Amino acid sequence: MALYGGNVMEAPMGVLKIKTRIGSDEFEAEGENEIVLEQYREFKELVRSKLPGTLPPAVTPPAPQPSWLQPAPLSAPLPTAEPLADQGMTAAKLSRIVRTDGNKPLTLSALPRGEGREGDAALILLLAYRILWKEEEMAGARLLDGLQISGYRVERVDRLMDRFMEAQEPLVIRTGVRRGVRYRLTTRGVARATAIIEELLNTIA
C-alpha cells in the first residue's frame, strides 16, 4: 500500500510507499512498513522543528535510580572542628604571638621550644589562619613560607604533618596532591593548637 499526496496507491504486499510535501520539504520512501513509517515520523519532526514559533519536543528526564543502584560516595565527609569560641582562642590572643602583614604569609613572633617545636608552630599557624583569615584550609607552601620566615629550618612541611595525620586520633587532615596540598585542623587539632598557644602566652606574659 502507498500514500501519495494523501491518496492510497497500490504497492507489493508488505511494502509501504509514502511521497508527500510539507511546505518546501518533500519526503519519499518505499520499503518495509515499520522502516518507512519511522523515517516519515523523523521527517515530520524535522519539518516541525523548522516552523516559526515551534518548540523542540520535550525531553523526558530519566527516572531516578533506586537507592541500592546509586553509587556510593567516593570518600567519607571530612571531620569538622568544633566552633572556635568553644576552644577559648581569640584574635586578640593570637595577635600577641602571630605577625600579620597584608597578604603575606602569617609568621610567629614567639616560637615554641623543645622537641617537636616545628610541628607545634605549624599547628599554631593553621589555627591563626582559621581565626584571623577565616581560612579553614591552608596551602602547604604558604605554611612552609611562614615557618621559614619565622626562623625554623624546615624543608618540607609534609614531614611535619605526617605524624599529626598518622596519630590514632589525627590532629590534621590533608587534601589535594603535590603543589595543591592543603591542610586543616580537626577538632583534636584545634584543641592541641589552643593548648600550645596558651602555654606559649604564659612564657611571655
pLDDT, position 64: 60
45 three-class SS: helix
At 27 the three-state DSSP class reads strand
pLDDT tens string 26-62: 777 777 777 768 777 877 777 776 666 554 555 555 5
pLDDT digits (tens, 9 = 90+) for 150-195: 999 999 999 889 989 887 889 999 988 888 899 999 999 999 999 9
Stretch among 22-31, 93-102, 141-150 having the lowest mean pLDDT = 22-31
pLDDT > 80? residue 104: yes
Integer Cα distance of 91 and 96 in angstroms: 9
Residue with cell 566552633: 83
Q: What is the mean pLDDT of residues 134-158?
A: 93
Q: Give the mean pLDDT of the chain.
A: 78
**Nearest 5°: CA angle at 126, between 105 and 173?**
130
pLDDT for the residue numbered 201: 93
Comparing CA positions, the residue from 38, 42, 134 lying closest to residue 91 is: 134
The gap between the terminal CA atoms of the chain, to the nearest Å, is 103
Question: How many other CB atoms are found less than 10 A from the CB of residue 112?
Answer: 21
Q: How confident is the model at residue 198 (pLDDT cuts 50, 70, 90)?
A: very high
Strands (E), the chain: 2-4, 7-9, 15-22, 25-32, 98-99, 107-108, 138-139, 172-175, 182-185
**Residue in the block written with cell 610567629:** 108
Considering the entire predicted model, what is its pTM?
A: 0.58
pLDDT at 78 (0 to 100): 45
Question: How is the chain split into domains, by residue range?
Answer: 2-50, 84-204
Q: Which cell is 21 given?
A: 510535501
Fold assignment, 84-204: Arc Repressor Mutant, subunit A (1.10.10)
